[in-house]
């Protein structure tokens, strides 16, 4: 049985359960881990309120799992003469020579001059002056820890951590934990060292009640440290080896329970969710032999086989297809539709924007027409009279193939027998929206195919979509040449203009994209208009298009269509063309202020060219002065066209939460594990979870009792992604 709700609410997530009951017949019981943090020695009501607000720490259990984010080597000391500004944190042993209050009012600060045998420096405090004064006796010897800064010829350290030399030397620990904290907490002396002090009070109190949460078999197979020892070592490591083992153990556990949940969802869905048997290949064979416009790649063939196996199995398909722009996902989608339609079912494809829905409709219509299949488009722009005809054709079953936007989700849109639902760029739709689509067949849940051109790193896919089957189209169609990408600076603009002129003479077309960042739209729009004017001056004989988000839809479409038809040769635009129309004749993509774009967005923009057989180019324009992350992004794009390698770099730079643009339960709230750095451990944890479920799906084996107990204690807040994504 689970622990009381108030404890689960405070620990909340899968990863936040540090304790379990200690009997083989778990009962609700009050444990020390539920104790409110104000009752811990050294905290009290005021500090507790701050810990609640600033760090979300309410109970002993929360504090125990406020893990350090790094560790400092406190065994090394520097002399004042050896300081330099590149040092992050240093320790100095020094004696207090003088103490002075300097300045008035809000500018008042405490300055202590300290000395060692090699020189002197200043320690400065702007806050908590009264408290510091009580603890700084003139002539006292202290260890000071902080970042050194040079002002003129004098070294200084602001708000250093400090402790008397005698006390520090009694139990000097090489690895000191560093905890995240805030300015408000620091004022109340809950800096990293302050948090460490209250953990020194807590650990002996709770240590006896920390119970094992993994089975003996898993501990042995993966050579993992026990839970009690891991908690002790993570806060107070006795050695580098002890710390390494503790981190491995706690990361593994987080990943294990995340994967166990996802895999359980997958098993449940596979066993309980019936799907229509859609196994007829007659329509598909006719398309292959008479109408297929080009040879499929081996990757496309592999993915189609995987889809066919799912759709004829009698169980609901839930499959994610990943593939770069231009890898042929649309053809795979159409062939999947033929499997469903040939077996007597209807299909739909939902896209996030009208532009993309139109592109899919135009792309699929030529294939549907060749097969004599009725296809329709439903968007917000569809006229009332056309909708009425469309709704009737859907309900009668006459209309087999529907493409649209979120307009497909409206209640009035009813299918006779929806067998396959395809969603493009699914992360742009909310969970509740997608759920409406799957509910449009009362007898069977429709087979689900999710497509994305945003490559998702394997670690993130395993965690975000671990309950879906994943197919990857990792091969471009024959004849496609890799896009050549170069990085140029503003000083190279005339050369870039010359290159554009050459491409236009060859009959090619050019995109020029400007950033449009929400916080500075007026400035960015001015840049766009200034850019348009300078292009018009540089290419007076070349017809131009301009597209940006501030334009009305019909004006935007008009400009887009002019470019598609080749009436204009240069398209000046914002990122609205990121998922825009397909223009095979466009061979050059110029991205202005490329340092202001995210890596995945740059990759998506680059994918707008290279759609034809001709060599295509992407030119990244930037200023010369670039930050570290900006330079990594641009260098990565120049080096590789591999979307999955790019996604891995993006994950390392931005983290999983930013990458997906959402806070999904169990993904971005990992306490210690890191999806961008701990991929091998995630793989091991997933293997372990698969082994457990394969041999003992109900966790009835006595050795799995710690796992069963832990699962029962996890609050069921996770969304069943397998049903709705």
Distance of CA 200 to the CA centre of its chain: 35
Supply angle C-alpha 629, 630, 635, rounded to 5.
Answer: 100
Residue 412 maps to a domain: no
Backbone angles phi, psi at 386, to 5 degrees: -65, -35
Pairwise CA distance, residues 541 & 569, whole Å:
10
**Quick one: 191 and 168 in the same domain?**
no
**Quick one: 186 and 59 in the same domain?**
yes
**Quick one: 549 and 616 in the same domain?**
yes
Residue-level pLDDT at 668: 46
**Quick one: 497 and 622 in the same domain?**
yes
Residue-level pLDDT at 348: 94
Q: Which residues, at least 6 apart from 604, have a Cβ–Cβ distance to it below 8 Å?
A: 325, 453, 454, 578, 579
Residue 278 maps to a domain: no
**445 and 274 Cβ atoms separated by less than 8 Å:** yes
**Quick one: 61 and 125 in the same domain?**
no
DSSP bridge pairs for 378: 404
Residue 48 maps to a domain: yes
Q: Which residue has the tokens 């020390």?
A: 32
**DSSP letter, residue 325:** T
CATH code (residue 157): 2.40.50.140
Supply angle C-alpha 505, 511, 516, rounded to 5.
Answer: 155
pTM of the model: 0.63
Pairwise CA distance, residues 440 & 420, whole Å:
11
Q: Could you tell me how many helices (H) and strands (E) the chain has, helices first?
A: 27, 22
Mean pLDDT by 10-residue block, N- to C-terminus, for the chain (725 residues)? 31 36 38 89 91 92 91 82 82 91 84 93 87 86 88 87 68 73 83 90 92 94 95 91 94 91 77 81 88 88 94 88 82 93 93 84 90 92 90 92 91 91 72 70 85 72 70 80 91 93 93 71 68 90 87 82 90 72 85 88 85 87 88 93 81 60 48 81 91 91 90 55 34
Pairwise CA distance, residues 259 & 464, whole Å:
10
Pairwise CA distance, residues 322 & 343, whole Å:
26
**DSSP letter, residue 32:** G
Residue-level pLDDT at 524: 60
**179 and 202 Cβ atoms separated by less than 8 Å:** no
**Quick one: 3 and 94 in the same domain?**
no
| Single residue among 172, 202, 228 that ends a domain in this structure | 172
Element (H, E) at 489: strand 484-489
**587 and 615 Cβ atoms separated by less than 8 Å:** yes
Structure tokens, 456: 């998702």
Parallel, antiparallel, or unpaired: how do β-strands 119-125 and 109-116 relate? Answer: antiparallel
Backbone angles phi, psi at 318, to 5 degrees: -135, 95
Dihedral sign of CA atoms 138, 143, 149, 150 in order: positive
Residue-level pLDDT at 40: 92
**Quick one: 42 and 135 in the same domain?**
no
DSSP bridge pairs for 178: 70
Overall domain count for the chain = 3
Pairwise CA distance, residues 422 & 438, whole Å:
10
Pairwise CA distance, residues 477 & 473, whole Å:
10
Which three-class secondary structure state does DSSP give residue 710? helix
**Quick one: 2 and 110 in the same domain?**
no
**Quick one: 167 and 114 in the same domain?**
yes
Residue 230 maps to a domain: no
Q: Which residues, at least 6 apart from 205, have a Cβ–Cβ distance to it below 8 Å?
A: 32, 60
Residue-level pLDDT at 31: 76
**655 and 668 Cβ atoms separated by less than 8 Å:** yes
| Single residue among 172, 200, 223 that ends a domain in this structure | 172
Domain holding 3, by residue range, is 1-71+182-211
Residue 597 maps to a domain: yes
Residue 331 maps to a domain: no
Pairwise CA distance, residues 404 & 377, whole Å:
5
**Quick one: 500 and 584 in the same domain?**
yes
- Taking the alpha carbons at both ends of the chain, their separation in whole angstroms is 31
- The CA distances from residue 129 to 44, 111, 126, in Å, are 21, 10, 7
**312-315: long-range pairs with CB below 8 Å, 24+:** 312/277, 312/278, 312/279, 313/275, 313/277, 314/274, 314/275, 314/277, 315/270, 315/273, 315/274, 315/275
Residue 566 maps to a domain: yes
| Single residue among 605, 640, 675 that ends a domain in this structure | 640
Q: Which residues, at least 6 apart from 29, have a Cβ–Cβ distance to it below 8 Å?
A: 3, 21
CATH code (residue 610): 3.40.50.300
**Quick one: 188 and 67 in the same domain?**
yes
- The CA distances from residue 526 to 497, 523, 548, in Å, are 21, 5, 12
**Quick one: 85 and 197 in the same domain?**
no
Residue 406 maps to a domain: no
């Amino acid at each position: 049985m689970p622990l009381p709700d108030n404890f689960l609410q405070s620990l909340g997530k899968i990863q936040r359960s540090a304790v379990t009951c200690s009997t083989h017949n778990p009962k609700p019981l009050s444990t020390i881990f539920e104790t409110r943090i104000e009752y811990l020695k050294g905290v009290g009501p005021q500090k507790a309120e701050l810990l609640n607000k600033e760090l979300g720490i309410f109970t002993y259990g929360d504090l125990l799992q406020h893990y350090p984010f790094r560790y400092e080597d406190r065994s090394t000391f520097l002399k004042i003469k050896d300081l330099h500004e590149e040092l992050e944190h240093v320790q100095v042993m020094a004696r207090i020579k003088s103490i002075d209050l300097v300045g008035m009012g809000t500018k008042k600060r405490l300055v202590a001059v300290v000395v060692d045998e090699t020189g002197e420096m200043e320690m400065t405090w702007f806050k908590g002056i009264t408290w510091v004064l009580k603890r700084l006796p003139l002539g006292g010897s202290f260890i000071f820890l902080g970042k050194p800064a040079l002002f003129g010829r004098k070294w200084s350290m602001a708000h250093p951590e400090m402790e008397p030399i005698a006390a520090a030397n009694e139990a000097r620990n090489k690895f000191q934990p560093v905890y995240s904290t805030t300015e408000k907490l620091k004022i109340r002396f809950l800096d990293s060292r302050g948090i460490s002090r209250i953990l020194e009070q807590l650990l002996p109190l709770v240590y006896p009640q920390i119970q094992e949460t993994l089975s003996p078999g898993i501990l042995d197979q993966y050579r993992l440290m026990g839970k009690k020892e891991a908690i002790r070592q993570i806060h107070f490591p006795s050695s580098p080896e002890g710390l390494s083992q503790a981190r491995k153990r706690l990361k593994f556990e987080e990943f294990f329970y995340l994967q166990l949940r996802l895999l359980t969802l997958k098993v449940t869905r596979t066993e309980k969710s019936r799907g229509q048997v859609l196994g007829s290949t007659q329509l598909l064979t006719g398309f292959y032999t008479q109408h297929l416009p080009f040879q499929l790649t081996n990757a496309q063939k592999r993915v189609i086989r995987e889809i066919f196996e799912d759709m004829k199995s009698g169980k609901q398909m839930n499959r994610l297809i990943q593939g770069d722009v231009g890898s042929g996902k649309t053809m795979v989608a159409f062939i999947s539709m033929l499997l469903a339609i040939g077996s007597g079912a209807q299909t739909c494809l939902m896209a996030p924007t009208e532009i993309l829905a139109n592109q899919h409709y135009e792309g699929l219509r030529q294939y549907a027409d060749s097969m004599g299949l009725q296809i329709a488009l439903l968007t917000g722009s569809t006229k009332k009279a056309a909708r009425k005809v469309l709704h009737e054709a859907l309900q009668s079953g006459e209309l087999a193939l529907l493409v649209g936007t979120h307009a497909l989700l409206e209640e009035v849109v009813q299918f006779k027998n929806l067998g396959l639902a395809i969603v493009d760029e699914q992360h742009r739709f909310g969970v509740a929206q997608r759920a409406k689509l799957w509910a449009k067949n009362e007898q069977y849940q429709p087979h689900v195919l999710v497509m994305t051109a945003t490559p998702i790193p394997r670690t993130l896919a395993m965690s975000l979509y671990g309950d879906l089957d994943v197919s990857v189209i990792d091969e471009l169609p024959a004849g496609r040449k890799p896009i050549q990408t170069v990085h140029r600076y503003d000083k190279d603009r005339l050369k870039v203009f010359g290159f554009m002129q050459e491409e236009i003479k060859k009959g090619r077309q050019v995109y020029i994209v400007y950033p449009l960042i929400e916080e500075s739209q007026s400035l960015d729009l001015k840049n766009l208009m200034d850019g348009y004017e300078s292009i018009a001056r540089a290419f007076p004989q070349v017809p131009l298009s301009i597209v940006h988000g501030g334009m009305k839809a019909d004006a935007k479409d008009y400009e887009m269509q002019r470019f598609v038809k080749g009436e204009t040769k240069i398209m000046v635009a914002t990122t609205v063309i990121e998922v825009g129309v397909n223009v095979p004749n466009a061979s050059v993509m110029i991205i202005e202020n490329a340092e202001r774009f995210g890596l995945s967005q740059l990759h998506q923009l680059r994918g707008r060219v290279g759609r034809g057989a001709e060599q295509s180019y992407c030119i990244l324009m930037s200023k010369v002065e670039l930050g570290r992350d900006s330079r990594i992004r641009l260098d990565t794009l120049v080096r590789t066209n591999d979307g999955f390698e790019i996604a891995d770099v993006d994950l390392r730079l931005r983290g999983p939460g930013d990458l997906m643009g959402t806070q999904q339960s169990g993904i971005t709230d990992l306490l210690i594990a890191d999806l961008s750095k701990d991929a091998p451990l995630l793989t091991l944890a997933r293997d372990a979870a698969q082994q457990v479920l394969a041999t003992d799906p109900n966790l009835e084996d006595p050795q799995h009792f710690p796992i069963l107990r832990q699962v029962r204690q996890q609050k069921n807040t996770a969304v069943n992604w397998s049903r709705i994504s």
